[in-house]
Amino acid sequence: MTFRDLLRDTIATLWAHKRRTLLTMFGIAWGIISITVMVAAGEGLGRGIQKQQENFGKDVIIVFAGRTSMQAGGTRSGRVVHWMEDDYKEVAREAPACKYVMPELGNNVKVHSAFNSGDIDTVGSLPPFTVIRSITVAQGRFYNDEDNEEGRHVAFLGSDTKKQLFAEREALGQTIELNGIPYTVIGVMKTKDQNSSYDGVDIRKIFIPFNSMKRDFPNKPPAVEHTVDRLLVAPWSLATHPDCVRQVRHTLARLHSFDPRDEEAASIWDTVKNAQANRMIFVGMEVFMGAVGVATIFLGGLGVMNVMLVSVRERTREIGVRKALGATRESILHQFFLETIFVVVISGGAGLVISYGFCALVNLLPKIPYFDGLDASWKLAALTVSLLGLIAVLSALYPANQAASVDPIEALRFEAGG
């Protein structure tokens, strides 16, 4: 029997039992759709939340001063700790594992433009603030090292702040007054989604050089003078992250006489650890949803195997006649193997087309917060196709072997007796 004859016979046999065949194929297709869409959804959700986190800041460590909970150096516990304006310089010198160490000072300031006014949070830091806090320039520029060294009266506006002060008018080059002090607008921030913060979202702030901030808008009594609100730190890489944290803690502990193990004296908001923890959660979700899909597709494979075993039983006389007329064990094996492969491949291929088409359609819709679409990657396709091939082979082996093992004499007697 040629391959063309074998294929024609396979199609005719399946068509003769089309309802059963279609239901079986649906099980395989549904398994493929399930595993593809569920894993793609998990990946899209994880990637969406990661992007939201990076909008707040990428690999940033925020160090807050607190209150000591341990005795150290003869000092009592419960002592309030403050970061001073120049602490960041000493920490930067003693923390080579950290790429950036910078202060951040923020206060609410009365702001006036020629068109509007309001009380707006104003923040001062160093130029690399844009890097570790994921601030993108839409117009103009952010302040640079020269602006900071000279304490220039320059301001960079958050996107919402620009709308509040200037509406749709041009803001670059305009003068605004911060507590009566004139500042020139040198840039406007690109809008961004932000799912977390410690002092308000960036799009509603004004950013000025640190030296300008500590001169014009320092912390005043009852707050301690010459202090900053927090330190922003970024490691060189994930590999240097643990050393960076350790070096920062030890330097601050030395400067302010507390135990470096005292986490309440120097509390840390660590986006690196948060990102790693979230990633583990989403990996677990992907594994769970993938396992559900794999279980579904294996159940579909069992359905195919069951159908083929029923087919072997129903066609026992046919198999006996073919073997009596000279059909070899290999030809019978090939016929039933091909029938199973045909069912699994066609249904699996249809499932792949449907699932990837569905993912593509969903990705055309507007993105919602924390979800970056259905990420049906080539890796997922390779995994699905590999599973499909495994299911096809496993589903075909036993029924095909059973068919090839039929004794022709017993087969004819079985049918005659039936």
DSSP 127-150: TTHHHHTT--EEEE----HHHHHT
The residue whose two tokens read 């249904």 is 347
Mention every residue, 6+ apart, whose C-beta is less than 8 A from residue 86. Answer: none
Same domain for 123 and 32: no
Alpha-carbon distance of 129 to 122, in angstroms, equals 14
Return the structure tokens found at 347: 């249904």
Taking alpha carbons only, the member of 332, 304, 342 closest to residue 403 is 332
Secondary structure class of 395 (helix, strand, coil):
helix
Q: What are phi and psi of 367, to 5 degrees?
A: -70, 140
Strand partners, 230: 64, 104
- The answer to the question of residue 269 being in a domain is no
Same domain for 284 and 160: no
- Alpha-carbon separation of residue 294 from 61, 90, 288, 383, 385 (angstroms): 39, 55, 10, 10, 12
Alpha-carbon distance of 193 to 370, in angstroms, equals 10
- The answer to the question of residue 286 being in a domain is yes
Same domain for 118 and 19: no
Return the structure tokens found at 344: 């699994």
Same domain for 217 and 93: yes
- Alpha-carbon separation of residue 403 from 330, 344, 386 (angstroms): 10, 18, 26
Q: Amino acid identity of 337?
A: F
How many other CB atoms are found less than 10 A from the CB of residue 108? 12
Return the structure tokens found at 203: 């799009």
- The answer to the question of residue 301 being in a domain is yes
**Where a domain ends, among 264, 296, 318?**
264
- The answer to the question of residue 41 being in a domain is yes
Alpha-carbon distance of 152 to 143, in angstroms, equals 9
Same domain for 196 and 143: yes
Alpha-carbon distance of 186 to 156, in angstroms, equals 6
Same domain for 71 and 50: no
- The answer to the question of residue 351 being in a domain is yes
- The answer to the question of residue 59 being in a domain is no
Same domain for 409 and 319: yes
The tens place of each residue's pLDDT in the chain, 418 residues long, gives 565 666 676 677 667 667 777 777 777 788 778 778 877 887 777 777 666 655 555 678 999 999 998 887 667 788 899 999 999 999 999 999 999 999 999 999 999 999 999 999 999 999 999 988 889 999 999 999 999 999 999 999 999 999 999 999 999 999 999 999 999 999 999 998 766 567 788 999 999 999 999 999 998 877 788 999 999 999 998 889 999 999 999 999 999 989 999 999 999 988 777 666 666 776 777 677 767 767 777 776 777 777 777 767 766 777 777 777 777 777 777 777 777 777 778 888 888 889 889 988 888 888 776 677 787 777 767 777 777 777 777 776 777 777 777 777 666 665 444 4
**Where a domain ends, among 210, 238, 264?**
264
Which uninterrupted H or E stretch holds 230? strand 230-235
- Which residues form the domain of 111? 67-264
Return the structure tokens found at 262: 């005292």
Burial of residue 17, with CB atoms counted within 10 A of its CB: 0-12 exposed, 13-18 middle, 19 or more buried: middle
Letter string b/e over residues 389-406, b meaning 16 or more CB atoms within 10 A of that residue's CB: eebbebbbeebbebbbeb
Same domain for 193 and 123: yes
**Where a domain ends, among 220, 242, 264?**
264
Q: For the chain, how many structural domains are there in total?
A: 2
Same domain for 315 and 367: yes
Same domain for 364 and 401: yes
